Amino acid sequence: MKLILAIVSGEDSNAVTRSLNENGYFVTKLSTTGSFLAKGNSTLIIGCEEDKVDKAIELIGAEAKTRTETIVPGASFDVVIPSFTTAEVRVGGATIFVLDVEKFIKL
């Protein structure tokens, strides 16, 4: 069994989870925050068999859109840019980690 951790934009998370549910995946959605932009995103926890991982990634990719976000001065403590200027970053459709699961139990 595998554990997929997928970080998607908050705007895409409902469409992504709906698509995964419709295709038989169990999903837990966490409200998270990216450190760089300090904006809300969603981290999806998806446990599934190894042969279902590629399909899950395909479904996530179909609903999670790549977009450009603007960094506003002062919005993040981690970003050092001159005052009164903004910068644009390209935010990926999804950032995905796939981990091995040692044990899976439902009581």
Which residues lie near ligand 2BA (CB under 6 A)? 7, 34-37, 39, 41, 89-92, 95
Tell me the three state secondary structure of residue 16: helix
Nearer to ligand 2BA, 43 or 55 (CB): 43
Contacts of residues 17-21 at CB distance under 8 Å and 24 or more positions apart, as own/partner, are 17/44, 19/59, 19/60, 19/62, 19/63, 20/44, 20/46, 20/56, 20/59, 20/60
- Written as six digits, the tokens of 31 are 């409200």
CB of 8 to ligand 2BA, least distance (A): 8
Tell me the three state secondary structure of residue 1: coil
Nearer to ligand 2BA, 61 or 95 (CB): 95
CB of 92 to ligand 2BA, least distance (A): 3
Q: What are the two backbone dihedrals, phi and then psi, of residue 29, each rounded to the nearest 5 degrees? A: -110, 125
| Residue with smallest beta-carbon separation from ligand 2BA | 34
Nearer to ligand 2BA, 53 or 95 (CB): 95
CB of 79 to ligand 2BA, least distance (A): 9
Nearer to ligand 2BA, 2 or 76 (CB): 76
